[in-house]
Amino acid sequence: MNEQPIISVRNVNFYYDSFHALKDISLDFAPNSVTALIGPSGCGKSTLLRLLNRMNDLIDKIRLEGEIIFEGKNIYDPGVDPVEVRKRIGMVFQKPNPFPKTIYKNISYAPKLSGVNNSDELDAVVEQSLRQAVLWDEVKDILNRSAMTLSGGQQQRLCIARALAMKPDIILMDEPTSALDPISTAKIEELIDELKKDYTIIIVTHNMQQAARVSDKTGFFYLGSLIEYDVTKKIFTMPQVKQTEDYITGRFG
């Protein structure tokens, strides 16, 4: 984990109007690793995740100080196109949100928008993305069926496949399994482990065991501050800060 970080958060302060949601956050994310962000509701972890691909841009009265450096450049520099950022940094949300279109079109939609028109090429992207999301075998014969007919777990893997279709470097996941049953959850977790060979994954989760199971590093947030950021094994066996320990052991309330 001594590699150059793929993305760095530097002295970030973030405000929703007068509410100081993130307080002087600095942390680096290593490439090909899984980082879990944990903390109680309202601690700022999702806000940070959304900042990483400029998902907060559309909210009124926000203010950002500090930098988020991706490939040597601040993604909030005036010249940077947020659409380009989101191509490289994909996002998977809490509730599966497939487009009300066919399975095939869910995957091919974004590549098509960005200019891929050759149908062989599109077929290849669809197959590869679905294979990477470990969904191909389940849907290869029903690609023209509506995505809405899939189960929740399949829909979520479809959304992951959709994010993969743009060949991003980083995949952000905002509680990707909180709406899923244990078996679908296990499949997504297995998938995360598989995907980290090719991608960097940053996941927000309320499920502490999930953070412990899937991540290499864990950051604990509380009231907008990053309280502790360390190797996951250490956070869950010997955290250095009492607040972290109180939170992960359930002494919090």
Binding footprint of other proteins on the chain (CB under 8 A): 40, 208-209, 212, 222, 235-239, 242-246, 248-253
Q: Give the separation between CA 205 and CA 188, rounded to whole angstroms.
A: 13
Closest residue by Cα to residue 162 from 237, 249, 104:
104
- Token pair of 242, please? 């009492």
CB-nearer residue toward other proteins: 159 or 235: 235
- CB 9, min distance to other proteins, A: 24
- CB 108, min distance to other proteins, A: 41
CB-nearer residue toward other proteins: 85 or 235: 235
* Run of H or E residues at 192: helix 182-195
CB-nearer residue toward other proteins: 121 or 252: 252
- CB 241, min distance to other proteins, A: 10
Q: Give the separation between CA 98 and CA 159, rounded to whole angstroms.
A: 6
- 89 and 70 Cβ atoms separated by less than 8 Å: yes
- CB 253, min distance to other proteins, A: 4
CB-nearer residue toward other proteins: 155 or 210: 210
Q: Count Cβ atoms below 10 Å from residue 168 Cβ, excluding itself.
A: 20
Q: Give the separation between CA 247 and CA 113, rounded to whole angstroms.
A: 44
CB-nearer residue toward other proteins: 145 or 234: 234
113 in helix, strand or coil? helix
Q: Count Cβ atoms below 10 Å from residue 72 Cβ, excluding itself.
A: 7
- CB 102, min distance to other proteins, A: 41
The separation between CA 227 and the C-alpha centre of its own chain, rounded to angstroms, equals 20
CB-nearer residue toward other proteins: 113 or 231: 231
- CB 19, min distance to other proteins, A: 15
Query: Among the residues of 80-231, which ranges form H helices?
Result: 82-88, 103-113, 119-132, 136-139, 152-164, 182-195, 208-214
Q: Give the separation between CA 147 and CA 150, rounded to whole angstroms.
A: 6
